Chains A and B, each alone.
Chain A
Amino acid sequence: MKCDHCDKHALVHEIVIRNGVSAEVHLCPEHAIAAGYPLPIESPIADIFPQLAAAVKVEGARSKERSQTCHACGLTFGEFRKTATLGCPACYDAFMPMIEQMIERAQAGATHHVGRAPTGGAEAERSQVLRAKIMRDLELAVASEQYERAAKFRDALNALDAPPP
């Protein structure tokens, strides 16, 4: 069976339940790691497919991410994965790469908030912070040749420049 996101062979097969609707997920090692699913490392398939050896190496690096804990509330990455519920606002930064992918997938690829924000004196400052953040993301995306992502960040910047309706 093929991966949901590319033409490679899917190795991870899971059934996820979101909003009461169950859906099958089939992912190749690369996309499985990107989405935070553990690979069946013990599987003898790992010996058969050489490309998997590399994936397992990446997985080793990612397992560090999974053992991470939010210092503000003590939620572990494993607990978050089990419930898909965060413990506090600081978790958004603590589990950043995983959350980024999860949100973009659930939000049809959207990468930045463009709607209402709390009003008050801090608003101008906040929009500056946001602009700086998007520009940094944009540079990183270009540097790593992720042009599709870069285009999304560019759109988000343009949306910031658009006059309010």
Chain B
Amino acid sequence: MTIPFAAALSQIGPDSDVIVTSRVRLARNISGFPFISRASNAVRLEIMRVVRRAVEQPSLSNESDRGLRWIELQSAPSRDRILLAERHLVSRHFANNDAPRALALSRDEHASVMVNEEDHLRIQFLCAGSRLPDAFAAAVALESSLAETTNFAFHPRWGYLTACPTNVGCGIRLSAMLHLPGVQIAGEVGRIKRAARDLHLAVRGYYGEGSESSGDFFQFSNQTTLGASEEDLLGEFHGNVLPKLMSYERDARAAAMEKQRNRIEDLVFRAQASLTAARLLTAASATRNLSRMRLGIVLGLLPMDLARLQRLLLQVQPAHLSVIDPRAAEGGDAELEARAQFVRTTLAQTSS
């Protein structure tokens, strides 16, 4: 399996100075089948057969950029599975287990359907920048196409039925990955997290549930899925919550530039120097320093293309790096050396 390099994570979009990506995910289960926790391998394979038939209708599986390809995860090489997780197209747990499961993925890598994750289907659309309404429209369109040949479990009172009862109703997860170095510098991360919880939002790290935030990237998502329509949830999250978070971060950056410009410049240029000098580089250190360079770029301190930096953030992850430099697959110092060399070379090219 070859995966073309078109991940949403390496692009930029509206409000990319703060919002890295937007994602909409719909949880659906097929009626007549048990949920995944009670599904035998035979049932899982049958679910895959039903979804594959729905996915392979000509309007969905074609040669266009939006055309879906079917990837059977249990027979895919481990490195490819981790590549998908590093691109936020599948969860780490989904990438790493051995049960029958699949991913239908569009060529442009925006649209995808995880089959046999916690729910039978997780239909998602991921794109760069603040584009939740577009992602919502695309995810709903994909869901409607799949529903033409598949009956989803639906309850008159609870709406779409999900394996975890707290996701019922719309079964929708709206999320945005935010870069919040300004909030971090101001020491306000705890406050933002508390405010988010009061608004029934979940705040997670760079790699979703259970992961630590790394490089000041935070993923915000709704937890309420019942008692409000999809449009209302979208309106609240995209029209109210995200603008507030964005202005909070932008104000924090502006205040820091006005009052502590030296400190910001020190952070940014020291990060750049560290990355151009390092001979051994861990993924965590690369992410942290690239995050600081990202701040420098959006503040106009560093003359570098933001999309190029986004791509680099992805390329320093272990599986991506091992595609670029096979030495990285050995782990240990070989991996750290390969990463340092790749980052040095790339930064030298972009600054020349």
Q: Which residues on A are within 8 Å of B, measured CB to CB?
A: 18-21, 72-75, 83-89, 92, 99, 102-103, 106-119, 126, 129-130, 133-134, 156, 165
29 contacts between A and B (CB under 8 A): A20-B209, A73-B34, A73-B38, A74-B38, A85-B37, A86-B163, A87-B34, A88-B33, A88-B35, A88-B38, A89-B31, A89-B35, A89-B153, A103-B166, A108-B224, A110-B169, A110-B227, A110-B228, A111-B227, A114-B229, A115-B170, A115-B229, A116-B140, A117-B154, A117-B159, A118-B152, A133-B157, A134-B157, A165-B231
Main secondary structure on A side of the interface with B? loop
A115–B157 CB distance below 8 A: no
Does residue B226 face the partner (Cβ distance < 8 Å to A)?
yes
Does residue B204 face the partner (Cβ distance < 8 Å to A)?
yes
B34–A102 CB distance below 8 A: no
Does residue B147 face the partner (Cβ distance < 8 Å to A)?
yes
Main secondary structure on B side of the interface with A? loop
Other than the given A88-B33, A126-B154, A130-B157, 14 more pairs (CB < 8 A) read A18-B166, A73-B35, A73-B38, A87-B35, A88-B38, A103-B226, A107-B168, A108-B224, A115-B169, A115-B230, A118-B147, A119-B147, A133-B157, A134-B157
A107–B163 CB distance below 8 A: no
A107–B226 CB distance below 8 A: yes
Does residue B259 face the partner (Cβ distance < 8 Å to A)?
no
Complex CA gap A117/B156 in Å reads: 9
Residue of B nearest to A70 (CB): B38
Cβ of A126: which chain B residues have Cβ within 8 Å of it?
Answer: 154, 156
Cβ of B161: which chain A residues have Cβ within 8 Å of it?
Answer: 89, 92
Cβ of B192: which chain A residues have Cβ within 8 Å of it?
Answer: none
Cβ of B345: which chain A residues have Cβ within 8 Å of it?
Answer: none
Min CB distance B201 to A, Å, is 11
Binary A-proximity of B146-190 (CB < 8 A = 1, otherwise 0): 010001111111111101111011101000000000000000000
Cβ of A19: which chain B residues have Cβ within 8 Å of it?
Answer: 202, 204, 209, 223
Residue of A nearest to B147 (CB): A118
Complex CA gap A89/B140 in Å reads: 22
Complex CA gap A110/B223 in Å reads: 12
Cβ of B153: which chain A residues have Cβ within 8 Å of it?
Answer: 89
Q: Which residues on B are within 8 Å of A, measured CB to CB?
A: 29, 31, 33-35, 37-38, 118, 140, 144, 147, 151-161, 163-166, 168-170, 172, 200, 202, 204, 209-210, 223-231, 233
Complex CA gap A83/B164 in Å reads: 9
Min CB distance A103 to B, Å, is 5
Min CB distance B229 to A, Å, is 4
Task: Take A85-B35, A92-B155 as given contacts and tell me if A99 and B165 are in contact as well, using a CB distance cutoff of 8 Å.
Answer: yes
A129–B37 CB distance below 8 A: no
Min CB distance B35 to A, Å, is 6
Residue of A nearest to B153 (CB): A89
B147–A103 CB distance below 8 A: no
Complex CA gap A112/B170 in Å reads: 11
Cβ of A114: which chain B residues have Cβ within 8 Å of it?
Answer: 227-229
Complex CA gap A14/B228 in Å reads: 30
Cβ of B202: which chain A residues have Cβ within 8 Å of it?
Answer: 19, 21
Complex CA gap A87/B209 in Å reads: 22
Residue of A nearest to B151 (CB): A118
Complex CA gap A11/B218 in Å reads: 37
Complex CA gap A111/B35 in Å reads: 23
Q: Which 7 A-B pairs have the closest CB atoms?
A: A110-B227, A113-B159, A106-B166, A87-B38, A130-B156, A107-B226, A20-B210
Cβ of A113: which chain B residues have Cβ within 8 Å of it?
Answer: 155-160, 168-170, 226-227
Among B37, B140, B204, the one with the most A-chain Cβ atoms within 10 Å of its Cβ is B37
Among B160, B169, B230, B233, the one with the most A-chain Cβ atoms within 10 Å of its Cβ is B169
Min CB distance B222 to A, Å, is 11
Complex CA gap A51/B39 in Å reads: 44
B224–A86 CB distance below 8 A: no
Residue of B nearest to A111 (CB): B227
Cβ of A117: which chain B residues have Cβ within 8 Å of it?
Answer: 154, 159
B165–A89 CB distance below 8 A: no
Residue of A nearest to B168 (CB): A103
Complex CA gap A114/B227 in Å reads: 6
Residue of A nearest to B166 (CB): A106
Residue of A nearest to B34 (CB): A88
Cβ of A119: which chain B residues have Cβ within 8 Å of it?
Answer: 144, 147
B165–A102 CB distance below 8 A: yes
Complex CA gap A70/B76 in Å reads: 36
Cβ of B144: which chain A residues have Cβ within 8 Å of it?
Answer: 119
Min CB distance B118 to A, Å, is 8
Residue of A nearest to B197 (CB): A21
A89–B29 CB distance below 8 A: yes
